[in-house]
């Protein structure tokens, strides 16, 4: 009996130790050693980045224009018709992805906010964070298909793939991420500071959408007639697919706590519902609220009692990134750092994190992996001083 009791105690102790190791705060783990090179300079709030098979990066800037950053660092400003662009606060020229057949068709897709009424009034920056549902005065977010010139000098607008994604005159919570996977597009949308929008299945705000390249709903959506795949999101500004499994993740901005990494399930509701108080956009509610949203799905990872302003995520190659090979990396704006994460085999848990570049490059946003396995990171500091960084693991 004593031996059995001792064995049980040892097992419990080992379990507690393992649990404690998996919940060590990120800052307690050794920071990875990285080699960081500024590949391009002089940009202004670059947002999304997508890398072509030849290593050239197509980069969006919130207020335009597009730029092409070649593997040798040569940077080209690209011609494109952005005359209707609505670039206010978080709205503008946002996420970008390349068609999986880009080498043959030279097609790219963007999330971008546009005026639907020329000269429509906007909300001043100083007022846009007030807890009110700002009106739409003539703006919307569209998914646009572009043809990229062979010499990277410009893009030609081909068509609008999907329209009707709401935004408001303040541009708040307009952030839009996009990822091409096979013959479909995954799109994450902000909740438009709408108290009921994230919980309304009939709208495209506070959702993740899954569409075919012609804009029709993709197979596997809960409602075959709708692009909506999941709901109950606050402001998910990026979406990515885990290459080995096809699992889809979004990274979300929290309120004053709980930035989240969420693993998507068809028809899932992720529990954000800022309509508790009448007439206002009530951000005192939890990011995931199972009491008011029965069945709400909890995140794979969250920041806890503070936020980092998680902006983008990318999956890393299966080699060349040490213990985080095959894992993912998240960029942060307020946190001014990268957060590396190692997932459990089933992808439902984060089992290790580590931070890097803390405070060394300022606010970080766009992420993409190059054909040779390096990570591209964009800064978001403004003053025409932003960079595209090339980051490699050194141990």
Task: List Cβ neighbours of 119 (8 Å cut-off, separation of 6 or more).
Answer: none
**Residue closest to 285 by CA, chosen among 296, 274, 294:** 274
Which two tokens mark 211? 């569409």
Topology adopted by domain 45-305: Neuraminidase (2.120.10)
Q: What is the DSSP string of 188-257?
A: EE--TT-TTGGG-TTSSTT-EEEEETTSSBPTT-SSTT--EEEB--S-EEEEEE-TTT--EEEEE--SSS
Evaluate whether 108 touches 56 at the Cβ level (below 8 Å).
Answer: no
pLDDT digits (tens, 9 = 90+) for 103-140: 999 999 999 999 999 999 999 988 989 999 999 999 99
- The residue to which tokens 């990274």 are assigned: 251
Q: What is the mean pLDDT of residues 190-205?
A: 98
Mean pLDDT, residues 209-222 taken together: 98
> Does residue 94 have a pLDDT over 70?
yes
Domain locations in the chain as residue ranges? 45-305
Q: What is the pLDDT of residue 175?
A: 86
pLDDT tens profile 277-335: 998 999 999 999 999 999 999 999 999 999 999 999 999 999 999 999 999 999 999 99
Pair 197, 135: CB distance under 8 Å: no
Q: Which residues contact 276 (CB under 8 A, 6 or more apart)?
A: 282, 284, 285, 292
HEC per residue, 278-329 = CCCCCCCCCCCCCCCCCCCCCCCEECCCCCCCEEEEEECCCCCCHHHCCCEE
Helix (H, G, I), strand (E, B) or coil at 145: strand
Peptide bond into 143 cis (omega under 30): no
Number of Cβ atoms within 10 Å of the Cβ of 367:
26
Mean pLDDT of the chain: 93
What are the tens digits of pLDDT across the range 171-192?
999 989 999 999 999 999 999 9
Within a 10 A sphere around the Cβ of 30, how many other Cβ atoms? 7
In this structure, the strands spanning 328-332 and 338-343 are antiparallel
pLDDT tens-digit map of 9-66: 333 343 333 333 333 444 446 789 999 999 999 999 999 999 999 999 999 999 999 9
């Amino acid at each position: 009996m004593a031996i059995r009791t001792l064995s049980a105690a040892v097992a419990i102790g080992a379990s507690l130790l393992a649990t404690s190791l998996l919940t060590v705060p990120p800052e307690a783990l050794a920071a990875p050693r990285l080699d960081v090179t500024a590949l391009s300079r002089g940009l202004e709030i670059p947002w999304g980045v997508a890398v072509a098979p030849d290593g050239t990066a197509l980069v969006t800037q919130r207020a335009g224009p597009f730029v092409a950053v070649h593997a040798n660092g040569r940077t080209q400003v690209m011609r494109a018709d952005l005359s209707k662009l609505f670039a206010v606060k978080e709205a503008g020229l946002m996420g970008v992805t390349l068609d999986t057949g880009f080498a043959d068709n030279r097609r790219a897709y963007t999330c971008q906010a546009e005026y639907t009424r020329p000269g429509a009034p906007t909300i001043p920056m100083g007022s846009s964070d007030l807890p009110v549902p700002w009106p739409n005065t003539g703006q919307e977010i569209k998914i646009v298909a572009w043809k990229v010139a062979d010499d990277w000098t410009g893009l030609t607008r081909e068509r609008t793939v999907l329209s009707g994604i709401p935004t408001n005159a303040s541009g708040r919570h307009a952030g839009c991420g996009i990822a091409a996977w096979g013959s479909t597009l995954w799109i994450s949308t902000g909740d438009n500071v709408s108290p009921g929008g994230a919980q309304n299945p009939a709208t495209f705000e506070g959702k993740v959408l899954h569409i075919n390249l012609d804009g029709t709903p993709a197979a596997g959506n809960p409602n075959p007639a709708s692009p909506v795949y999941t709901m109950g999101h606050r402001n998910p500004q990026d979406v990515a697919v885990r290459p080995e499994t096809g699992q889809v993740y979004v990274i979300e901005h929290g309120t004053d706590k709980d930035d989240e990494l969420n693993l998507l399930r068809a028809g899932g509701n992720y529990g954000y519902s800022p309509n508790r108080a009448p007439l206002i956009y009530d951000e005192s509610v939890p990011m995931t609220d199972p009491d008011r949203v029965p069945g709400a799905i909890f995140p794979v990872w969250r920041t806890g009692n503070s936020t980092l302003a998680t902006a983008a995520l990318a999956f890393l190659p299966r080699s060349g990134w040490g213990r985080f090979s095959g894992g993912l990396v998240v960029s942060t704006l307020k946190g001014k750092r990268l957060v590396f994460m190692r997932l459990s085999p089933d992808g439902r848990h984060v089992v290790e994190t580590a931070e890097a570049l803390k405070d060394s490059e300022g606010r970080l946003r766009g992420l993409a992996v190059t054909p040779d396995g390096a990570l591209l990171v964009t800064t978001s500091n403004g003053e025409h001083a932003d960079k595209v960084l090339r980051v490699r693991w050194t141990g």
